[in-house]
Every structure is written in C-alpha cells, then in structure tokens.
Amino acid sequence: MVATYRKLPNNNSHPSTSPAIKPHSPDQNQLSHSTPTTTMVKAIIVHQHGGPEALKYEDVELGEPKEGQIRLKHKAIGLNFLDVYMRKGLYNTSPPLPYTPGLEGSGVVTAVGPGVTTCKVGDLVAYGTLPVGAYAEERLLPADRAVPVPSGVDAVQAASVIFKGLTAQVLIRSSFKVERGHTILVHAAAGGVGSLLCQWTNAIGATVIGTVSTKEKAVQAKEDGCHHVILYKDENFVDRVMEITSGKGGSFEVLKKRGYMVQFGMASGEPDPIPSSTLSGKALFYTFSAMGVYTEERHELLAAAEDLFTNVANGVLKIRVNHKYPLSQAAQAHTDLEARKTTGSVVLIPDGE
C-alpha cells in the first residue's frame, strides 16, 4: 500500500527568484515616463510575512523580456497552499521580500526575449513553477518553464490544474508508480491534488481510500473515484483502513510491509520527526514528492505536462474549478483556503478579464 501524506489532527536550497515585477513608487513612475519599454500593471505584493492581509493589490512596473524570457498576459492564475506557506514565511523556498506570490497560471505570450524558440507571440501557455510572480495581470517568465496548452484544454482549466496536476503526475508516475491492484490512501481527498489523485489512480485500476473532513467533501471524493471515504473527524482512520484492507494496511500504522509513504504537502504544518525505528520495523519507504525536482529538465516537464493535459482532454481527469476570485480579492481567497472552505481548484482571474 502507498499513502500520500498530509498531517491530520491529533484527535485521531531556495532557488534564486529573479523578480519579474517591482512595486510602484513616485521615482519609478518618473522612470516609466522616460522608459517606454516598461508598463504599469496590477499585481499582488507581499511586503512582510503574515496573514491574508499581507497581500496588497498595487501598481507595479513590468519591463521587457530579457534573454530566455517571455512576457505573459494572464487569463487565469492558480492558487494553492504553497502560496500560503510562502506568505507566512514558513516554507524553505519563500522568496525575499517584497515579492509577488504565485507559482501557476496560464495566459497568452505577448513578447519574447532574445534566444527564445520554445514559443511565440500569441501562444497560449501554462506554467507551474518557480520563480514566483503569478499574482499579476502580466508577468515575465523563463520561457523553458512554459508549456503549450492543447486545444482540448481551456485557459482556466490549465491554470487551475498545472501545478496540482504535475504534482499528482509525479506522485503516481515517479515518486511511486501506481499500478492496477495497488491500494492507495489519499489524505485530503477532496483537495486540489487529492481530487486528481483519486480520479487518476481509480482510472489506473487501484483501490482508492480517501480521508476528508466533512460529509460534503465525502460526496465529492466518492464522485472522484474514491472507493472508501473516511471522515477523519468522526472516525479513527487507522482502524478504518485496517478494516477496509483486512488488516493488511495503507500514517505508518496502516502501511503494509515495504509500503510507501509519499508526502506531497504541509497544509497542517511541518510533520513530526520520524524515528528510523518507525521505518525499520516493516522496511517502509518515506519520500517527499518534490515536483520541481522531477520536472527540472525541460524534456521531463514536457512529458509530464503532456501526460496531464492528455488525461484532462480525454475526460479521465475532471477539473473542478469550484471557486473563482478576482485578482484584487486574493486575500479573501487565501482566507477561505486556510479555513478549508474550498474544494477542488481555486483560481484568481485578473480583474480586467
């Protein structure tokens, strides 16, 4: 059995991030008048770490793309918990202040810098990667991190699924290769990644067990292909998994011998340290599914994105964009996400779109 991990309640090398935009100031405004290649756009800026109120909607300067860069006008911007970690300053990839959050989005290429051959002006592309900067009307982006969006996938779908979908793809294809007959335990089964994992692994032929916090989320998890749904606030999920698997297991207590624990996020905080004795008793494997590591090379990124978008286009993966917020209301979107009021994918739409 393999389990994807997000910490449940007790009751049961920072990459360099070249800023694509910078906050507007009177001096910069004078510069923009004398430099016709800069444009003023709206963006979210984080000046200091903190709660959702740290997300400020401001005017910023956007320059022309440099060597290897493209300029992108966003159609939609994806939101995920990694944005929250960074806003709080809790994650090891939190960029220097001030910065514009966001790791995933889709949009139309409006300009290309010298040496760019992977896309052209007018192309619809998507990305889900560092450097941050997605919470903006327009941004600059390394061209080799953008992937083409096929005709069977629209811009909102692409933005909502690219980061979470690549995470799911890495989880089931690389971190652990899920095959027919495997039993999978997915925590947060109604979340953005969890929803995709349930659908994808069900289609592969695995038996899918999912944990959720509410009855409403249980309904969605069932619709997404979860064979067994556990309400972890009402049930002891360890006991239920052992019951479902006839004592064979799929947390560490329910993993079978030589089972895999694959962590894909820290929505509930940093997990407790794991003693080696916990792993050695049943020869367990524990790993973190770092999507960026598995898609570091462009050919890896393109292959993973093609796999993802193909499964979206052919209906294996149904993308639930259950929540849309104007970019200017990013703070409210973060508030709702942290309060677990959202299900499926959440996107920000530039106010002018």
Give pLDDT, residue 270: 65
Q: CB-based burial of residue 216 (10 Å sphere; 0-12 exposed, 13-18 middle, 19+ buried)?
A: exposed
* Structural domain containing residue 100: 21-162+323-349
Domain tally for the chain? Answer: 2
Q: Once rounded to an integer, what is the mean pLDDT over residues 84-113?
A: 92
Q: What is the pLDDT of residues 33-62, one digit of tens each?
A: 334 578 899 999 999 999 999 999 999 999
User: Does residue 127 lie within any of the structural domains?
Assistant: yes
Strands 69-79 and 138-142: antiparallel
Using 50, 70 and 90 to split pLDDT, how confident is the model at 329?
very high
Answer yes or no: do 29 and 117 share one domain.
Answer: yes
Would you state the pLDDT for residue 182?
A: 92
Co-location of 37 and 128 in the same domain: yes
Whether 309 maps to a domain, the answer reads no
Q: Are the CB atoms for 149 and 308 separated by under 8 Å?
A: no
Same domain, 150 and 232: no
Helix (H, G, I), strand (E, B) or coil at 5: strand
Q: Give pLDDT, residue 274.
A: 74
Please report, rounded to a whole number, the percentage of residues in the chain having pLDDT higher than 90.
Answer: 59
**Global pTM value:** 0.78
For residue 193, tell me if it sits in a domain.
Answer: yes
Average pLDDT (214-238) is 91
In-domain check, residue 221: yes
Whether 197 is covered by a domain: the verdict is: yes
Question: What are the strands, taking DSSP E only, across 122-264?
Answer: 124-128, 138-142, 147-148, 183-186, 207-212, 228-231, 260-263
For residues 64 and 150, membership in a common domain is answered with yes
Same domain? 272 vs 329: no
Q: Which phi and psi angles does 20 have, rounded to 5°?
A: -80, -25
- Tell me which of 151-155, 273-277, 294-298 is least confident: 273-277
CATH, residue 153: 3.90.180.10
Q: Is 102 within 8 Å of 83 (Cβ atoms)?
A: yes
Same domain membership, residue 212 and residue 87? no
Residue 304 lies inside a defined structural domain of this protein = no
Pair 42, 114 in one domain: yes
**Amino acid in the structure at residue 117:** T
Q: Specify whether 173 is located in the same domain as 154.
A: no
The answer to whether residue 310 is domain-embedded is no
Lowest mean pLDDT among 25-29, 267-271, 331-335: 25-29
Average pLDDT, rounded, for the chain: 84
3 pLDDT above the threshold of 90: no
| CA gap 216, 343 in Å, rounded | 9
Query: Do both 170 and 283 map to the same domain?
Result: yes
The contacts of residue 161 (CB under 8 Å, 6+ apart) are 78, 196, 308, 312, 317, 319, 345
pLDDT reading at 208 higher than 90: yes
Residue 305: pLDDT band with limits 50, 70, 90? very high
DSSP labels, 166-207: HHHHHIIIIIS---TT-EEEESSTTSHHHHHHHHHHHHHT-E
What is the mean pLDDT of the segment spanning 298-325? 95
Task: Please check whether residue 60 lies inside any domain of the structure.
Answer: yes
28 and 82 within one domain: yes
- Position 130 scores a pLDDT of 86
Residue 258, domain CATH? 3.40.50.720
Q: Are residues 169 and 152 in the same domain?
A: no
- The tokens for 86 are 């960074």
Same structural domain, 190 and 116: no
Per the CB < 8 A criterion, the answer to whether 185 and 3 are in contact is yes
Number of Cβ within a 10 Å radius of residue 138: 22
